[in-house]
Chain A
Amino acid sequence: MTDATDPQVLATFELTKSFGGVRAVDNATVAFQAGRINAVIGPNGSGKTTFFNCITGMIKPDSGTVEYRGRPVTGKSPDRIASAGIGRSFQLCRIFPQMTVLENVLAAARPANIGAMLRAPHRRSPDVARARDLLVRVGLDHLENSTADRISYGQQKLLELAGVLMADPETIMLDEPAGGVNPAVIDRLASLILDLNAEGRTFIIVEHNMSLVMSLSHHVVVFDRGRPIVEGSPAMVQAHPAVLEAYLGV
């Protein structure tokens, strides 16, 4: 479906971030190509989440740059990066616990104009209709009036994805989407990711579930000690000796 000639959508150049004396991300230069499902894997503590946080503006990198669609976004605030077209989920899924499921999704939509902003969300407004469609898509439409902290963790993960989609991002970064959820939800997430990718959205996924990574992704980047050590097709990465070394610490 995609090939290596696709333009790169997101690139980091010598990205570095230290906490105290520890270099969580160390000179990471990585390019992700448009239209692909990219996976970022690596042992615990290899800096994947910090790498995500630096890209999405949650953390300011010490040095290095991030480019999105050829424009520098380094150090911009998370909301500006989100508005530029990058949506993200969090490792420990984050939703708005006291809001209803529908409100959670709706909160992510930027109202078209000031008038819409200041009006109450109307049942027949296009945004509400779209939020409902997204809930149908992730299979939570029957829960739209439940308070979000009362649905299961797996459902919260799906809800978080629906919220991310509501902002209509071209690039979606998921931090461990399959972490802590049951196989049925993982299957649902996997087929959603494939469908959304088929619609043209780029994915960058941090994930520990290797069978999911190998079956979904087109391109895999392996992180170790804060920098990419190997990247390539899933099959190539799987067979690479350096990857085994990083994981097993041989």
Chain B
Amino acid sequence: MLSVSRVVRIVTLLVVAVAVVTFPQWAPNPYILSAGVVVLIYATLSTSWNFVGGFTGYMSIGHAAWFGLGAYGTGLLIARLDIPSFAALFISAAIVGLIAIPVGLAALRVRGISFVIVTVALLLVLQLVFQGLADLTGGSQGLVVPRPFPDLLRPEHHAVFFLIFTALLAVNLVAWWAIDRSRFGLRLKAIREDEDKAQALGIPTRAYKLSMFVVSGVLAALAGGLYALWFGDLDPIFVFSILFSVYAVLMALVGGIRHLFGPVLGAVIVGVGAEFFKAGFGDTQLHLVLTGGLLAVVVLFMPDGLIPAARDLIDRFRPQQSSIREVTVEQLREAERQGNAGIDAQEVGK
């Protein structure tokens, strides 16, 4: 039984992986392909956000700060210092990692709301600084980043970057998966569930949180650097954008922050939805209303995301002993209140 579901899982994973990797071949046109790159960027950013958000429960809404720093770092190293593109990418990510240490120490001193404030403030101040340093960064005029493969035509350029972003997403996912199943991950999740308790048990919570903060920042910086190489033009308002950060959070929440593929699923749903909306209705302000509406609905009605919600739904139609384990007491009480007979309240231990 268990091994069958495992085989199904592996086969599904392989099919999806092959479909994604061959996407540049079967994408109908370069526009769709570039939209695919955008969705991949979202998926990568959201998964990298989930190292902090998912494991420790600290929700940053300034995650684009790392993306932007990685992008500008890469762009500036290439444009101003003539460093080769991919060397610049990794150097810039390393620098961002170093910056993330003191910032993380400061931000993680404080909990809950104060952490959110620090992350937002960091993003906003970077936006100002990169606008202010116009001599260096080009300010609002933008920074043009030379392309790494000048000989490639536009569709080929998209195709290559699609594959590179896929690889980066894969690195993100493998790292998240490895941490999730490790003893380290278990102790991280203890912080998410009850930080004081975790600390009283001897878990050095600050070092644990900081390590995830830095990993999350470096992975976002890599995504940002690749974005700079792919897009070739940077604007502080766009890369250090709160809206972009909130997209990362929204996507992770839509899919489910406790699940490996939660952010990816969310990115596909929200990203594809957004692209379709743009194609259908143009660039009106309504996309803000829709994004806000979706965020509100998820926060109010589905804070655990689609994956657990779908699992509950499936389990409801499969009356087994094991199904009961997937639901929390809270959900059971909710179900009882709604008079749902599908879950036997006596199964609850208290």
Contact = CB atoms under 8 A, between A and B. Distances in A.
Interface string B169-202: 0000000001101111011011001101111111
A98 interface: yes
B205 A79 contact: yes
B349 interface: yes
A120 interface: yes
A111 B208 CA distance: 14
Nearest to B330: A149
A178 to B, nearest CB: 18
Nearest to A166: B201
B350 interface: yes
A116 to B, nearest CB: 6
Most buried by B among A78, A80, A127: A78
B206 interface: yes
Interface string A39-82: 00000000000000000101000000000000000000111101
A107 B200 contact: no
Given A106-B186, A111-B184, A118-B184, A94 B199 contact: no
Contacts of B196: 58, 78, 94
B321 to A, nearest CB: 11
A98 B328 CA distance: 8
B328 A95 contact: no
Contacts of A118: 178-179, 182-184
A210 to B, nearest CB: 27
B328 to A, nearest CB: 6
Contact of A147 (B186, B197, B325): B325
A130 to B, nearest CB: 13
A147 B328 contact: yes
Given A99-B189, A111-B183, A94 B202 contact: no
B32 interface: no
A155 interface: yes
Contacts of A82: 199-202
B182 A152 contact: no
Interface in B102-145: none
Contact of B206 (A56, A77, A109, A151): A77
Given A106-B186, A118-B178, A94 B197 contact: yes
A107 B197 CA distance: 11
Given A97-B193, A107-B190, A147-B328, A117 B202 contact: no
Interface residues of B, number: 29
Given A94-B197, A99-B186, A151-B350, 5 more contacts: A82-B199, A96-B189, A96-B193, A108-B203, A166-B201
B269 interface: no
Q: Which 6 A-B residue pairings sit nearest by Cβ, starting from the closest?
A: A82-B202, A96-B193, A78-B199, A120-B181, A94-B197, A107-B190
Nearest to A118: B182
B349 A150 contact: yes
Contacts of A79: 199-205
A110 B203 CA distance: 8
Most buried by B among A96, A145, A152, A166: A96
Given A96-B194, A118-B184, A149-B329, A58 B200 contact: yes
20 contacts: A56-B200, A78-B196, A79-B200, A79-B203, A94-B197, A97-B194, A97-B328, A98-B193, A99-B186, A99-B189, A99-B190, A103-B186, A108-B201, A109-B183, A110-B202, A120-B182, A121-B183, A121-B186, A150-B348, A150-B350
